[in-house]
Amino acid sequence: MNEPAQQPAAACCGEERGMAAAAFVGQRRVALFGRANAGKTSLLMHLTGSLQRPVNFPGTSVECVESQTRSGDVALCVTDLPGTASLEPQSRDEQVAVDFLRVEATRPDLVCFVFDAGKLAIELRLLRELRRLGLPVVVALTKCDSAAAEGFPIDADNLRRAIGVPLVVVNGATGAGVDELRRALAETPLLAPPQPVGDDGASAAPAARRAIARSRTDRLDALLLHPVLGPLVLLAVVVGMFQLVFTVAEPFMAAIEAGQDLVGGWLEALVPEGAVQSFLVDGVVNGVGSSLIFVPQIALLIAFVTVVEATGYMARAVFLLDRLLRGFGLSGKSFVPLASSFACAIPGITASRILGDERDRLATIAVAPLMSCSARLPVYVVLLAAFFPPLQAGLLLFALYLLGIVVAVLVALLLRRTVLRGGSSMLAMELPVYQRPRLRLVASHTWFAVKGFLRTAGTVIFAATIVVWALAYFPRPAAVGERFAAEHEAAAAAGADETQLAAIDARREAAYLEASWLASIGRTIQPVFAPAGFDWRMTVGVLAAFPARELVIPTLGTLYSLGEVEASVDEPDPRLGTVLRTAKGADGKPTMNGLVALAVMVFFALCSQCAATLATIRRETHSWRWPVFTFAYMTVLAWLAAVAVYQIGGLLGFGR
């Protein structure tokens, strides 16, 4: 009877090994070892009954995850190691796996080697490396069905005799053979069998496999890696990813916004007006909503990327783009995090773990936030609709996305030639066979990515929202409340309707915000943004957008006495566009025009106004140096670009 349980690997990875394995009566520590794409994670799900984050592409996880199961009276503590192509590590995740096997403090009692039947020669070489460590090994032979479909059926009995270690055929999709594997892990003697002298594993291949015809993967690669058709297919895949993220996610995002409004309205009716109500509605509810609003896009993006990885196509995309990106100091593997960053930089930065070279990884992390994520889109939509005709708006939107890409490439090239100067890494990777993605793996991968986002970035967004709320709410002068209370009472006595009373309330909130600490900070630093054409209201909007970029829209709505204005992409509030076009400063001149709007959009396209992104950079680099550097260089770059747009445009006669 199996009794699965799951716990963090730290308990196992950090456990002292001061006594012999025999002292652990009835318990065995098993390391699940194998290459990425070998079917390791799906096997772990069936073996231990736990739901794990899959590792379908090299480098997507660097943590050891521990689960427990039982076979008879023997408890099996199974540690899932990151996918490893060799015992000579080339990346951070491979180093974790190799150290786990070699360091005495974490060295397991037994290794379960997950053997991909479709990659016989590669797996045999890795198995020989593993056996040199002197650990007992049990082989779990996976993907026999895929190997047969490719035209290379495996004779498991001959392979078992050739390699000389226990071998069990398992099916990661159905779980077939897992019970037998569990028994083998519990019963195999904890003594490594002797390694055949001079045997490099190649002699086992003819005994185990017979080539029949050109494989299915070879036939598909003839099309997908074609010098002309291959890039066109890749372009279609990327466009499809963007379309999925930006359209399919919209109903779910609208549902989250509706739920946020529902909870906010319920609290407004339940809690008397005042600081507590504002804290709950504008701070807590909006803070949670600002975190949850990203979940549909992140979930769809991760699911899409996981499907592409699981089919084996992602490795082909990396191969196709490697030569292009390498010319700018990046690796073909940088495509994965950079493409992911168009939806949200957080999963993109996390995906940088796939890069083995540390310089390439840091350069990719530093430029990933330059990709125009979905949070920038509401700012673009409102300003484009307010100041530009539809044809120009479409071209400018494309130009803003292109701006981020071009600047990212140039910054990456500069970094790799200065602070990250050093030898470039070679692209050495395996092209896995094509296979059908498994729904359970896709779902589990997506769930763990979303949970990680909510646990890390979500908490940062929430905290930043509370801080900005406090700055925007206090000191709440009593004189402002008394003045508008009297005006509201007089208007009600005169028979004013709900619209007129709501306008008074909106002006009251604008007056409170103008008197807030946030507005004071905005007015203080406004001269810095004056060369870009920003007035103090736009400067306050920039400050308020730090928890999430789209918060600039409701902030401007409050400052212009419009009440609540949603940061909607499909249905932007026309009132904000109107008031931005007609607003005038103290000198009687318009505070906004098309040139100022363009400068604002360029600033938001290049700035790093996202606390969650900076927190993710801190987590991935284990240092505050890189988030501080990223925030500093992007802010300066955004300011310089906005100033250049406004000043050069003014000299050319635009914006008059």
Instruction: Write the DSSP assignment of 12-52 as a string of letters.
Output: HHT----S-GGGSTTEEEEEEEE-TTSSHHHHHHHHH----
pLDDT at residue 9 greater than cutoff 90: no
Q: What is the pLDDT of residue 527?
A: 92
CA 484 to chain centre: 46
Q: How far is Cα 290 from Cα 245, in angstroms, rounded to an integer?
A: 17
Last residue of a domain, one of 379, 408, 437: 408
On whether both 204 and 256 belong to a single domain, the answer is: no
Handedness of CA 234, 239, 242, 248 (dihedral sign): negative
The SS3 of residue 654 is: coil
Verify that 205 and 247 share a domain, yes or no. Answer: no
pLDDT digits (tens, 9 = 90+) for 189-240: 887 666 554 444 445 555 455 444 456 777 888 888 888 898 899 888 877 7
Is residue 53 a part of any domain in this protein? yes
38: in domain: yes
pLDDT at 567: 55
116 or 48, which is more confident? Answer: 116
Domain residue limits at 307:
229-408
Weakest-pLDDT range from 43-47, 133-137, 265-269, 584-588: 584-588
| Whether residues 187 and 96 fall in one domain | yes
Do 271 and 382 belong to one domain? yes
d(CA 212, CA 151): 5
Query: Are residues 175 and 242 both part of a single domain?
Result: no
Instruction: Report the pLDDT averaged over residues 612-637.
Output: 90
Q: Which residue has 């231990």 as its token pair? A: 48
- Among 213, 237, 258, where does a domain finish? 213
Please tell me which of 212-216, 246-250, 467-471, 474-478 the model is most confident about, judged by mean pLDDT.
474-478
Q: Per-residue pLDDT tens for 320-354?
A: 888 788 878 787 878 878 887 887 788 788 778 77
pLDDT digits (tens, 9 = 90+) for 492-543: 888 888 888 888 887 888 788 888 888 898 889 989 999 999 988 888 888 8
Length of the chain (residues):
656
117 and 254 fall within a common domain = no
Q: What is the dihedral of CA 479, 481, 485, 487, to 10 degrees?
A: 60
Report the pLDDT value the prediction gives residue 24, as an integer from 0 to 100: 40
Assigned domain for 416 exists: no
Please choose, from the candidates 546, 596, 553, the residue with its C-alpha nearest in 3D space to the C-alpha of residue 377: 553
Return the pLDDT at 500: 85
CA distances from 326 to 63, 319, 360, 408 (A): 28, 11, 10, 13
My answer on whether 242 and 371 are in the same domain is: yes
* 614 close to 631: Cβ distance less than 8 angstroms: yes
Q: pLDDT of 137-196, one tens digit each?
A: 999 999 888 788 777 788 888 888 888 899 999 987 788 899 999 999 999 988 766 655
Sheet containing strand 137-142, strands side by side:
5-8, 65-71, 74-80, 27-34, 110-116, 137-142, 167-169
- Contact, 333 vs 348, CB < 8 A? no
656 falls within a domain: no
Write the pLDDT tens digit of every residue in 158-173.
888 888 899 999 987 7
Give the residue among 371, 366, 322, 367 at the shortest CA–CA distance from 344: 371
Task: Select, from the ranges 232-241, 263-272, 429-438, 445-454, the one with the highest average predicted confidence (pLDDT).
Answer: 263-272
| Pairwise CA distance, residues 485 & 498, whole Å | 15
Same domain (yes/no): 162, 246: no
- Rounded Cα gap, residues 607 and 548, in angstroms: 12
Residue 473 located in a structural domain: yes
Q: Are 320 and 308 in contact (CB under 8 A)?
A: no
Residues 385/393, Cβ–Cβ less than 8 Å: yes
423 within a domain of the structure (yes/no): no
Residues 237 and 371 placed together within one structural domain of the fold: yes
**pLDDT tier at 489, thresholds 50, 70, 90:** confident
Looking at the structure, tell me whether residues 209 and 233 fall in a common domain. no
pLDDT tens, 36-49? 778 887 788 788 77
Last residue of a domain, one of 188, 213, 238: 213
Of the listed ranges 441-450, 467-476, 479-488, 520-529, the one predicted with least confidence: 441-450
pLDDT at 586 over 50: yes
Annotate 534-566 with DSSP letters as a single string: --HHHHHHHHHTSS-GGGHHHHHHHHTT-----
Q: In the predicted model, what is the mean pLDDT of the chain?
A: 79
Same domain, 176 and 38: yes
Number of continuous H segments (helices) and E segments (strands) in the chain: 31, 7
Residue 434 falls within a domain, yes or no? no
Q: Which of 1-10, 304-313, 517-526, 598-607 has the lowest average pLDDT?
A: 1-10
How high is the pLDDT of residue 299? Answer: 82
Cα–Cα distance for residue pair 523/541, rounded to 1 Å = 11
If asked whether residues 366 and 482 sit together in one domain, one would say no
Give the residue carrying structure tokens 């350069």.
363
In the chain, how many domains are there?
3
In a domain, 223, yes or no: no
Whichever domain contains 116, its CATH number is 3.40.50.300
Rounded Cα–Cα distance for residues 513 and 507 (Å):
10
